[in-house]
A and B are shown apart, each in its own frame.
Chain A
Amino acid sequence: MVAAGSRCAHDAVKITSGRNERTNLPSSQTPLPGSCAVDPTSVRPALDDAEVERVERGDLRARLIALRQAGASMLLDLGAVDYLERVPRFDVVYHLLFLPVSGAKIADVACPRRMRILVGISADDAMLPSVVDLWPNADWAEREVFDLFGIRFEGHPNLTRIQMPADWEGHPLRKDYPVRGFVGEATPRPSFASKSNVPAGTPPSGRVAEALREQVSRATEKSS
């Protein structure tokens, strides 16, 4: 999406660097041996941040409708995680908050119940039912998950890209999408040398060294 006139010779430069070509990590930060390739959500220590429940895709809508009727008045957030080496590959996470409509005082609202629903879906069938009719704010959240992960939501009124430009290809937050983008698409690196009026390779003018010497001599004069 960069204006055509600004392309420069850097296009030919391969943007990837580092040993791990697939994820395009910088070379100093390749994964440490022993990082767990299994599901981190199953290994979690006992943290009481929410009630966590994992549901299957088929039961998801029924479960969410039941929770909505049980008082889950707010869908706090809808996000996704890409566990590249796990089957199923993606996790879509729904954060729910049970806030009473009549909670006009702090005491009424004290410590509302929180829930976290996790759904695992695979990459070749990345489709989930939309919950826009249950909580209208799922609209943009589902669009963002579609945009950045490629997971579709059935029943969504307008499932289009929201963060990336409309004609972008690929889903950036997937783990196999390089952080710097693909070579053909990456924006050219700025070349400051070609923009300045000092050609590359010009030896230092000596003015900085001279100014420093002058500063030092003035300081020694003052102290002596």
Chain B
Amino acid sequence: MEMIPGRQFFLARLDEVARWAQSSSVWPLTMGLACCAIEMMSVQAPQYDIARLGSEVFRASPRQADLMIVSGRVSRKMAPIIKRLYDQMADPKWVISMGACASSGGVFDNYAIVQGVDTVIPVDVYVPGCPPTPDGLLYAVNLIQQQIRAGGSGGLAVRA
């Protein structure tokens, strides 16, 4: 993106502008499952404030969300619902697997918990912690923004 000197407009490629816009307004889905969901609420709270990164609102409807933050342990009963919600989200969409339980089953290596939500949906960023501090989640959103800006196969649909 370059500014034309002396004039009041920029010259840029369309996908750069699109990616810049996408990365600056990533709206997460309220996919709060367990303890990590409470830390996700803390991220929305004034002290950590995810709104300054562009996630001004958390949408309840998957149709209106870009980012699914799977926060909490995914039980075998819940897994098909997560898959369905992921399918309902419109492209381009990203997924953060927040916490140890969502990333790998966490402390619960048993019959009831899916050992990693990436066995159900593709994940872009994994956040370790039990639960991760809100700083960790903010860093994960930063990484998502970097991934968006780095681009995929070019164009508006950044995720393959």
A associates with B: yes
On A, residues with C-beta under 8 Å from B are 1-3, 6, 8, 163-165, 172, 177-181, 185-190, 195
Tell me the minimal C-beta distance from A164 to chain B in angstroms: 7
On B, residues with C-beta under 8 Å from A are 76-77, 79-80, 83, 103-105, 109-116, 118-120, 123
Of the candidates B80, B109, B123, the one whose C-beta lies within 8 Å of that of A3 is B80
- Is there an interface contact between A172 and B111, defined as CB atoms closer than 8 Å? yes
How many A-B residue pairs have C-beta atoms within 8 angstroms? Tell me: 55
Q: Nearest chain-A residue to B119 (Cβ)? A: A6
Within 8 Å CB of A188, what residues of B? 115, 119
Of the candidates A2, A8, A172, A195, the one whose C-beta lies within 8 Å of that of B112 is A172
Tell me the minimal C-beta distance from A24 to chain B in angstroms: 10
- Is there an interface contact between A187 and B76, defined as CB atoms closer than 8 Å? yes
- Is there an interface contact between A1 and B77, defined as CB atoms closer than 8 Å? yes
Main secondary structure of the interface of A (DSSP, over half): loop
When A187-B76, A187-B114 are in contact, do A180 and B120 touch as well, CB less than 8 Å? no
- Is there an interface contact between A1 and B115, defined as CB atoms closer than 8 Å? no
Cα(A180)–Cα(B108), bound, Å: 9
- Is there an interface contact between A165 and B115, defined as CB atoms closer than 8 Å? no
- Is there an interface contact between A189 and B77, defined as CB atoms closer than 8 Å? no
Cα(A191)–Cα(B76), bound, Å: 18
Of the candidates A181, A189, A190, A195, the one whose C-beta lies within 8 Å of that of B111 is A181
Q: Nearest chain-B residue to A166 (Cβ)? A: B77
- Is there an interface contact between B111 and A2, defined as CB atoms closer than 8 Å? no
- Is there an interface contact between A6 and B110, defined as CB atoms closer than 8 Å? no
- Is there an interface contact between B118 and A180, defined as CB atoms closer than 8 Å? no
* 29 contacts across the A-B interface (CB closer than 8 A): A1-B76, A1-B79, A1-B80, A2-B79, A2-B119, A3-B80, A6-B120, A164-B76, A164-B77, A165-B76, A165-B77, A177-B111, A179-B111, A180-B111, A181-B110, A185-B111, A186-B111, A187-B76, A187-B113, A187-B114, A187-B119, A188-B115, A188-B119, A190-B103, A190-B104, A190-B105, A190-B118, A190-B119, A195-B123
